């Protein structure tokens, strides 16, 4: 490679990008805002011989003269050092682009506002089942750096990547054989500034596709249908609401691909209409790759969900426990509640961001029999629950103390659901810790182990 490269921002993606660049022969400098004594990735790279700069990332960083910047996706484009790089016409790429350039495996990429992780996981499981050669692996925004996995896969494998809008902005040559768009709402406008910019970032997933490729798109919204016309790839629709005989769809409670019935929708293990959409997208990809119907059914009947995302934990004494700690906003909790037909004992609460919860009243009325609340928003949610007519409203200290209460308030046939509708930072470092503690509390209560 022989280029002088600045890796701006570490974490997993920057750390692995730096290692890959050095392997390719680049002269690599890494910069991260975290001080060295609190930055294990930076220390490890320094020991390995990398030039490491920690602390404030000022425009003067670029005085050393670089040929290329690899930018962490979480760093906005309006920070001064990135603005100077743009003014200098310094190429700015992301770790995903770097990974795709060394990847030998066939590439499947998934983006969207919601459902990316679940869809990516479903696809990987389907493509990895009953294959005659190689493996299907996942990477990207799902939490596994693509630059690490890209070095491990071969031409016999399939690499399924979850790619966010932050990652897509920094792509120029990224070219998946199959691209999937689950949906587009209005997210991350603090980063992208306008919805038009956000949509344009998402559509970069298909920018380099050709007529030999496939673009799998949710057709349940007119905007998404229209956006699909921008692609040069073969468009393969999926729809929960309409029959789309060129792709995957639900009809009379059965999931189809083209004219083939795949399975009843109610046999998909993860609950909710949104997960039917995710399943349809995965079915479309699997069928394009020649996966048999039996393998598809086996995955969808047994896949209990991605950890912390309406994840089935276990069943005990007739009660089903679900961990939806990733539900850090009202919309996610509403979606989770609508996925259940049985009565729900809901565990909710968390960081107070200054808003109220009146819009949750319909979902509470239709689905919640009892609610247990904790964290900064407990009193606000209690008022909403009262307005929704929920008779049983309990306050408790945290998610761990909420679990025994949930058992007492539930009956066989009920759902016990952690879906907080709030961020976790008032009590926990992140939603993962909150969800893990919920699972441990359920295991302690029931004497059973989480199903995986």
Cα–Cα nearest to 173, from 74, 256, 100? 100
- CA-to-CA distance for 69 and 94, rounded, in angstroms? 8
Which structure tokens are listed for 365? 């009325």
206 is in an annotated binding site: no
- CA-to-CA distance for 7 and 56, rounded, in angstroms? 14
Residue 295: other Cβ atoms inside 10 A: 17
Q: Give DSSP secondary structure letters for 279-343.
A: HHHHHHHHHHTT--HHHHHHHHHH---STTSSEEEEEETTEEEEE-TT--SHHHHHHHHHT--S-
CB of 186 within 8 A of CB of 192? no
The distance in angstroms from the start CA to the end CA of the chain is: 43
Q: Give DSSP secondary structure letters for 236-291.
A: EEEESSS--TTSEEEETTEEEETTEEEEEGGG-SS-SHHHHHHHHHHHHHHHHTT-
310 is in an annotated binding site: no
Question: Locate tokens 């209460």: which residue?
Answer: 405
Q: Give DSSP secondary structure letters for 13-39.
A: HHHHHHHHHHHTT-EEEEEESS-GGG-
Cα–Cα nearest to 64, from 55, 72, 53? 53
118 is in an annotated binding site: yes
Beta bridge partners of 138: 160
379 is in an annotated binding site: no
- CA-to-CA distance for 439 and 452, rounded, in angstroms? 12
115 is in an annotated binding site: yes
How far is CA 186 from its chain centroid?
16
3 is in an annotated binding site: no
CB of 410 within 8 A of CB of 319? yes
116 is in an annotated binding site: yes
Binding-site members for ATP are 112-118
Binding-site members are 112-118
């Amino acid at each position: 490679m022989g280029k002088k490269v600045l890796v701006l921002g570490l974490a997993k993606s920057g750390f692995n990008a730096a290692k890959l660049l050095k392997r390719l022969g680049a002269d690599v400098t890494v910069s991260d805002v975290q001080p060295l004594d609190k930055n294990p990735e930076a220390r490890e790279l320094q020991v390995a011989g990398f030039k490491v700069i920690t602390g404030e990332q000022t425009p003067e960083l670029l005085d050393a003269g670089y040929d290329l910047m690899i930018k962490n996706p979480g760093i906005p484009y309006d920070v001064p050092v990135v603005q100077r790089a743009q003014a200098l016409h310094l190429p700015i790429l992301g770790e995903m682009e770097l990974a795709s350039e060394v990847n030998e495996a066939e590439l499947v990429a998934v983006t969207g506002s919601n459902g990316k992780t679940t869809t990516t996981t479903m696809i990987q499981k389907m493509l990895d089942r009953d294959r005659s050669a190689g493996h299907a692996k996942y990477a990207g925004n799902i939490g596994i750096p693509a630059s690490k996995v890209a070095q491990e896969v071969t031409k016999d494998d399939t690499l399924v990547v979850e790619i966010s809008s932050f990652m897509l902005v920094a792509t120029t040559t990224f070219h998946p054989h199959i691209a999937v768009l689950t949906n587009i709402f209005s997210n991350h406008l603090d980063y992208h500034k306008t919805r038009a910019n956000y949509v344009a970032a998402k559509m970069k997933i298909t920018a380099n596709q050709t007529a030999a490729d496939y673009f799998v798109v949710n057709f349940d919204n007119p905007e998404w249908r229209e956006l699909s016309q921008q692609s040069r790839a073969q468009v393969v629709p999926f729809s929960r609401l309409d029959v789309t005989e060129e792709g995957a769809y639900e009809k009379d409670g059965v999931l189809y691909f083209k004219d083939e019935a795949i399975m009843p929708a109610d046999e998909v293990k993860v609950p909710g209409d949104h997960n039917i959409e995710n399943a349809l997208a995965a079915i479309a990809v699997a069928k394009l790759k020649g996966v048999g119907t039996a393998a598809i059914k086996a995955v969808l009947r047994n896949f209990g969900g991605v950890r912390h995302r309406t994840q089935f934990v276990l069943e005990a004494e007739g009660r089903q426990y679900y961990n939806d700690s990733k539900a850090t906003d009202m919309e996610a909790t509403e979606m989770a509640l609508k996925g259940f037909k049985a009565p729900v004992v809901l565990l909710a609460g968390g960081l107070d961001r200054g808003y109220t919860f009146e819009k949750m009243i319909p979902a509470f009325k239709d689905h919640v029999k009892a609610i247990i609340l904790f964290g900064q928003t407990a009193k606000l949610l209690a008022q909403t629950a009262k307005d929704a007519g929920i008779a049983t409203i309990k306050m408790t200290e945290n998610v761990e103390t909420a679990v025994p209460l949930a058992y007492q308030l539930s009956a066989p046939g009920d759902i016990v659901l952690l879906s907080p509708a709030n961020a976790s930072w008032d009590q926990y470092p992140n939603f993962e810790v909150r969800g893990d503690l919920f699972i441990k509390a359920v295991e302690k209560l029931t004497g059973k182990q989480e199903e995986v």
